[in-house]
Amino acid sequence: MLEKHLICISCPIGCELSAGRESDDSTWKITGNRCPRGEAYALAELTDPRRVVTAVVRSNSPVQPLLPVRTDQPLPKRFIDRLLNHLYTLTVKTPVKCGDVLIDNVENSGVRVIFSCDCEK
C-alpha cells in the first residue's frame, strides 16, 4: 500500500488529502476531500501537477508601468519557469482589458495567458 499526503489548494479551506494505491493497482483512492474539486486536484497533482501562474509584464502606460497577467487555467509545472522568463522580456502596448489574451497557447498546452486588469492609457 502506497500512501501520499497532500493539502488541497482549490479553496481557502485547504483540506488535508490522503491518496492511497495498492502496489499492483494504478488507480489512486483519494480521501479527506470535502468536495469533488479536492479529488480532481489530488489526481492531477499525482500525475500531472499544475499551477495557475500569475506575474506582471512591462507596459507603455504612463499610469500603470506594470500590468498583471495570469494563466486562464493551471499550467503544467514544468513550463512555469520558461513562461515567466519569457513574460519578463515583454513590453506590451495599452490599452488592454481584463481577459484580453497575451499568449494564446503556452508550449502547446492549450493554456492562455490573459491580462488580469483594465488599463485605459
Partner 1 sequence: MIHLQSCDIAVIGAGAAGLAAAAETAAAGRSTIVIDREELPGGILRQCIHNGFGLTYFKEELTGPEYACRITGLARQAGAELRLGCAVISAVRNADGTFELTLLSAADGVTKLTARALILAMGCRERNRGNLAIPGTRPAGIYTAGAAQKLLNLEGVLPGRRAVIVGSGDIGLIMARRFRWSGIEVEAVIEIMRHPSGLPRNIAQCLNDFGIPLHLEHSVIEIGGRERVEYVDVAPLSDGVPQLERKFRILCDTVLFSVGLIPENELSAELGVELNPATGGAVVDCDCQTSVPGVFAGGNVLHVHDLVDFVSAEAAAAGRAALRYLDGQPAAAKNPVRAGANLKYAIPNYFSPARTTEFSFRPLILSNDATLTAELNGETVWKRRLRHIRPAEMLKAQLPGDLLQQDGELVFNLIQEEVQHA
Binding to partner 1 by CB under 8 A, coded x per residue (else -) over 15-44, reads -x----------------------------
Which residue matches cell numbers 489526481?
A: 43
Among 2, 3, 7, 95, binds partner 1 (CB under 8 A): 7
Our finding on whether 8 is near partner 1 (CB under 8 A) is yes
Residues whose CB is less than 8 angstroms from the CB of residue 109 and which lie 6 or more positions away in sequence, other chains included: 75, 76, 79
By CB under 8 A, what part of segment 94-113 binds partner 1? 98
Alpha-carbon distance of 76 to 17, in angstroms, equals 21
